[in-house]
Structure 1
């Protein structure tokens, strides 16, 4: 009897692990702008691509829906979220509120080792910025978001970190839908200026620079729509 229970639990864990792996793959494709807002995520197609049941796919899509990256419609299925202009404004308004707190918390915990990690991150951003091609642009956007996630991690608040993870993902979705330039929208030196202020312990300046930085990202938005790609092409499976 106990063996059957254990086997059932192992099966459930395997399904959950598969669902999370699919969630991560779809999430990366959305955040990296390989899946455009409005793209239909067919349970049957995703199941075929990953060789899993529809139940596992449904669990993965529910995780993404909880994060706000996917919306589900009755009798129609699941789609990559297509945020309205008001929702886009709310995303950046939320970032202003949360990232001000992250700056203050990170400033109190910042170590020389953290500074070194940030410098490596800035170098990665610069490398992708100097490369050409769509893949390089996606890599730059991801690297830019990683700077903000690293700040949240240094701040040491797991709840804020989770919020930032979701907000950065939603920001990437908004940029995919409304971004004019198709790049990260981060000024070439803005992250570096924020880090310099933090390293000097100037929280007020670092906070001011972060607010200006978020304003800059939001100012690059318009109503231009992205090109839609197929699910298979976006996942490169």
Structure 2
């Protein structure tokens, strides 16, 4: 755990921009974006009461959000301990990326076989939102939506164990990208996501697999994973 995990951060409402009472589903992307933007540094404590005050909701609502982030390994929860943010080091980052590649190269073939038109439309809508955030310079929202693209694609494969496995890797990858991406990186993931959708829609498994492998290669290439001192 990093040094910043030893003190609970102050979490004013302005940090998250909550003006009205929010649901757990609305709080999740706001908190995740704050994490990706490193407004909450890696290792930070996440006290339920402080988060509840910041969002103007009960600890029960916050507990649901933290539970979801814990399932995705972005937040670490232990009995009788305050939850804190994960702080993946370069070695952990490489392990996550390697495991993710194994899962995604299997899932993409299944998704190509089983995709339905309604699911393709949902994917295209998601990528359009990702594009808009990218063009507005909202980098971390675009990263989060890019991760959601891969999770939606995994659902299309209709293999629940593999989809659950990926659910514990993709959000962590988003955290890794936010932390380790090289400065001034111009990589536009949404364009590659759009190309993958085209291949899946046409039932072209070989092209979809090749595009996914290239996409994961570029994702890894833009990361600076040497040990930080």
**TM-score relative to the length of structure 1:** 0.69
Q: Which has the higher helix share?
A: 1
Conservation of the 8 A alpha-carbon contact between 1:30 and 1:36: yes
Residue matched to 2:162: 160
Residue matched to 1:142: 144
CA RMSD across the alignment: 3.5
Residue matched to 1:119: 124
Q: Between Structure 1 and Structure 2, whose CA radius of gyration is higher?
A: 1
- 1:192-217 CA-to-partner distances (Å, cap 9, x unmatched) read 22122222322122112111111111
Conservation of the 8 A alpha-carbon contact between 1:88 and 1:174: yes
**TM-score relative to the length of structure 2:** 0.71
Higher relative contact order (CA 8 A, sep 6+): 1
Alpha carbons of 1:51 and 1:150: their partners in 2 closer, same or farther (altered >3 Å)? closer
Structure 2: gaps spanning 5 or more residues: 1-23
> 3-state SS of the aligned residue for 1:36?
coil
Listed as ranges, the matches of 1:80-229 within 5 Å are 80-132=85-137, 136-181=138-183, 185-187=187-189, 189-222=191-224
Alpha carbons of 1:203 and 1:67: their partners in 2 closer, same or farther (altered >3 Å)? same
Instruction: Measure, in 1, the Cα distance between the counterparts of 2:80 and 2:90.
Output: 26
- 1:211-237 CA-to-partner distances (Å, cap 9, x unmatched) read 11111111111259xxxxxxxxxxxxx
Structure 1: gaps spanning 5 or more residues: 1-19, 225-237
Instruction: Measure, in 1, the Cα distance between the counterparts of 2:105 and 2:38.
Output: 27
Cα offset, 1:32, TM superposition: 6.2
After superposing on structure 2, the runs of 4+ consecutive aligned residues of structure 1 that deviate more than 6 Å are 20-23, 55-60, 73-76
Q: Bigger shift: 97-106 or 119-128?
A: 119-128
Count of residues in Structure 1 that have an aligned counterpart in Structure 2? 204
